[in-house]
Structure 1
Amino acid sequence: MEKVKLEEEIKELLLRGHEGGYWDYKSDYADCPEDKLMDYICMANNLEGRDAYLIYGVDNDGKIIGIENTSYKRCNTKEINEFLRNKPFAGGYIPSISVDVLLLEGHELDVVTIKNTNKTPYYLTKNYNQTKEKMSKTLKAGAIYTRVNDQNTPRELTANMEHTEYLWRKRFGIDMTPSEKLMKLLEDVGDWSETRWDIDRHSYNIHNPEYQINVLDSQDTYETLSYFYDDERMLYAPLKLNYLTTTLYETELWYMDMGRCLIPKPEHKYDIEHGVYYYYIEKDSLNGKLLPLFAYGKSQCCDRSGREVPVLIFENKKMRTEFENWLEDNLFLKEKYIVDLENSAIFQHIKRKEAKNGKSTCGVLEVAVAFRFYKKWIKQREEI
């Protein structure tokens, strides 16, 4: 599905018929290492603050001519990253790059995606020149190269003060609001102080201690999801994310398996018409960014033995919508899944726990069936 999304974006960029601040048409590969490195650096330092693309196999007007008959060696993700790895990048920060091959109008295109990061500006600490007979190709140490509209910075120059300042401000998150910066800080679990959430209930960002996570007193509660853990007893506690004395976000922390497994509160959806109930977390949401903090760095919910419990994990809302649309088209599988579950000893154990308590309005069967649909969808998605 991600490749489909990329293909749609590349088609749109080709229809524009001109290059821009984050995309460049290439009719063929270059044999010059300085040219390749220059392109990667300029795109990594683009001023749009987004992913950038080198599109190989199109002419200057965006017309598809194909890259399958190139005169030079085509590059894949591994080869480009190996090429970058031994270059003298400041701080050891190397642009993040991937390569996809798209088939359009009967031709192959190589699309090199240069990922948007906060490690800008990317620059070299030593002059780089492998083509000794062409000193004009040299990339200068300390020079900040970027891209303005459809032009790269000339090699003998450096980006102007305004553009250089923008790239440094991006690295340090200076232009972010406290809420935006907190969401960014949550992406690196290792930057938060270690804590025992059942005792200390407090963590702070090591590099920015004004950002803190606080868990309040816990209370008994009940959720259908809890039956999928060894001990169905659970607690919940209000969870606050603060900047200095201001609370930026509030959610809940769930102590599953009587406190042995922690997860931020998932969202849930009940499809009354089709009898499907599921818990889910979108990874780009607040709770999605919090999940690895409580799940030992993983974006997954597991019981104490490491077995996955039925919380559906999506990259974003768009991915969840794709699943829901697929689900509607595949509801004919529901009866088969119910039969499979009824023959499962593990599920029957879960169902007996639910029956003993007699609390469910949306029960474990609906949750388990939705999870079967989800795993089927994920498998098909990975095979595309």
Structure 2
Amino acid sequence: MSDENLKEIILGLLRLGYEGTYWDFKEDYTDCREDKLIDIICMANNIDGHQAYLIYGADDNGNVKGIENTTYRRYTTKSVTEFLRSKPFAGGYVPKVAVQSIKIEDHELDIVIIESTNNTPYYLTEEYSQSHDVKKKLYAGAIYTRVNDVNTPRKQTASFEHTEFLWRKRFGIDLSPSQKLLHLLEHTEDWSKTTWDYDRHSYNLKSPEYQIIVLGSDEGYETLGYFYDDEKMLYAQLQLKYLTTTLYETELWYMDMGRCLIPKPERRYKIEDGLFYYYIERDSLSGKLLPFFAYGKHQCNNRSGQQMPVLIFDNSHERLEFEDWVSRNDNLRDGIEKEISENAIFQHICAKEEKIGKAQCGVLQLAIAFAYYKNWQKEYK
């Protein structure tokens, strides 16, 4: 989410002057890990099913105090994500979070954004009592949520009504057909096995009225193709249907002359940074389809298993974080370009590009973006 969009949302919540089901004001941080954890769990399980916000630097009435002078260590996306991943969440489902800082009234606010997902209810399989204070302890199996501006008490669990709502959300019971299809795509094991070269059709085993169909293919061209052994590719229309109704359409790309399949990635040209890359966001249609064609992985490989330069992000916010990181690390470009240009495999790729001469944005720009991406991953992933 851009800073401007987030700022507009947070300003609207601050003006209300009270806390709610999916937003909470925090004047300062705390060193109590149980408090930190229950706040995030309750927000992830909020009964509005809304993206939620922990707003650090504002009092309970929404008055901006700022967080810039805190004596505690400020949150980052990396620190909060690592904190959550180490906790015993049922089924391995961990709340998805991101941290952004914005400026309002000449003060800094840290915003912990908790994504709305279908993996509710989030709960722990073991009790959590880092401080060994029985009043702070979180209990195994307890489902914590948030009603109006109040979290579920730690010794209790959510009401039957709210627990049912969270489980119905998990199983997609109340979704429209288009929403349910996206939900079903998250579980590739529930779809019929198929050979996309011949059958070109798959259906959901539990709800067979939902189908994936690939139509006839034609020859195509993409700069990405030069990174495969054979730069020739095909593309085909890909339809996602409910009964006879087409709910979504995209393309399936047969790279390496049909040996490697990927759903159509997006292209990004960022002229000010000289950045050109292909990408797929996990929460997009192509992101949900990728494991169907990549042997269950969120990664694009060639037939030898080598990763291809299609950048994979969790969402648009993470992709924008990457672009911001590239802008701040422009000093790496000369070294990256030199290393790439001296690589024998890349020289072979360049030779193919020169021979065919079709690239509008060359393979060098694509390789540089991919090298930046690998460096960014080492630092933040």
> Normalising by the residue count of structure 1, what TM-score does the alignment of the two structures yield?
0.68
Question: Which residue matches 2:369?
Answer: 373
Residue 358 of structure 2 corresponds to residue 361 of structure 1: yes
The equivalent of 1:117 in structure 2 is 117
CA contact (8 A) 1:280 1:312 kept: yes
- Matches of 2:200 and 2:96, distance apart in 1: 39
Question: Cα–Cα, structure 1 residues 41 and 280, in superposed 2: closer, same or farther, change >3 Å?
Answer: closer
Q: Report the CA distance between 1:39 and its aligned residue.
A: 5.6
- Matched residue of 2:116: which SS? coil
Supply the AA of the counterpart residue of 2:364. Answer: A
Structure 1 residue 110: Cα displacement: 10
1:239 aligns to what? 238
Counterpart of 1:351? 350
Q: Cα gap change, 1:188/1:68 in structure 2, threshold over 3 Å: closer, same or farther?
A: farther
Residues of 1 paired with 2:320 and 2:141: CA distance?
Answer: 46
Q: Is the 8 A contact 1:299 1:313 kept in 2?
A: yes
| 1:80 to 1:242, Cα distance in 2 relative to 1, 3 A | closer
CA contact (8 A) 2:220 2:233 kept: yes
Question: For the Cα contact (< 8 Å) 1:18–1:61, is it kept in 2?
Answer: yes
How far is the alpha carbon of 1:229 from its aligned partner?
A: 0.9
- Which residue pairs with 2:204 in the alignment? 205
For the residues of structure 1 that align with 2:259 and 2:167, how far apart are their CA atoms? 42
2:348 counterpart letter in structure 1: H
The separation in 1 between residues aligned to 2:289 and 2:156, in whole angstroms, is 45
Residues 345 and 168 from structure 1, CA distance in 2 versus in 1: closer, same or farther, beyond 3 angstroms? closer
Matches within 5 A, 1:2-21: 18-21=18-21
Change (3 A) 1:291 1:14: same
Higher mean C-alpha displacement, 264-273 vs 241-250: 264-273
Q: CA RMSD in A?
A: 5.3
Q: What's the CA shift for 1:182?
A: 1.8
Q: Radius of gyration: which is bigger?
A: 1
In the other structure, the counterpart of 1:214 is 213
**Which deviations, in whole Å up to 9, do the C-alpha atoms of 1:351-377 show, x marking residues without a partner?**
333344x3x3325x7233233134325
Secondary structure of 2:290 counterpart: helix
Shift of 1:317: 4.3
Unaligned runs of 5+ in 1: none
The 8 Å contact of residues 42 and 146 in structure 2, kept in 1 or not, is answered as yes
Q: Distance in 1 between matches of 2:39 and 2:323?
A: 40
Identity %: 55
Unaligned runs of 5+ in 2: 74-78, 104-108
Aligned-residue offset at 1:143: 8.7
SS in 1 for 2:216: coil
Distance in 1 between the 2:301 and 2:142 partners?
A: 48
CA distance in 2, matches of 1:196, 1:235: 16
Q: Please report how far the alpha carbon of residue 226 of structure 1 lies from its aligned counterpart in structure 2 after TM superposition.
A: 1.9
Residues 280 and 287 in structure 2, CA contact (< 8 A), matched pair in contact too = yes
- Which secondary structure does the structure 2 equivalent of 1:241 belong to? strand
The answer to whether the Cα contact below 8 Å between 1:220 and 1:235 also exists between their aligned partners in 2 is: yes
Counterparts in 2 of 1:260 and 1:149: CA distance versus 1, 3 Å: same
Q: Which amino acid aligns with 1:362?
A: A
Match of 1:257 in 2: 256
Q: Does 1:283 align with 2:279?
A: no
Deviations 1:28-76 (A, max 9, x none): 869898x898766643431231354667897645656888589xxxx97
Give, as a single letter, the amino acid of the residue that structure 2 aligns with 1:281: I
Q: Check whether the contact 1:97–1:112 (CA below 8 A) recurs between aligned residues.
A: no
Q: Give yes or no for contact 1:41–1:95 (8 Å, CA) kept in 2.
A: no
Q: 1: distance between equivalents of 2:194 and 2:274?
A: 40
- How far does residue 323 in structure 1 lie from its aligned partner after superposition? 5.7
For residues 12-34 of structure 1, give each alpha carbon's deviation from its aligned partner in whole angstroms, at most 9, with x where no partner exists.
6995664321244567869898x
Kept in 1, the 8 Å contact 2:96–2:115? The answer is yes
Asked whether the equivalents of residues 118 and 171 of structure 2 are also in contact (C-alpha less than 8 Å), the reply is yes
Cα 1:291–1:123 change in 2 (3 A) is closer
CA distance in 2 between counterparts of 1:157 and 1:222 reads 56
- Partners in 2 of 1:271 and 1:28 — Cα distance? 37
Contact preservation (8 Å) 2:202, 2:211? yes
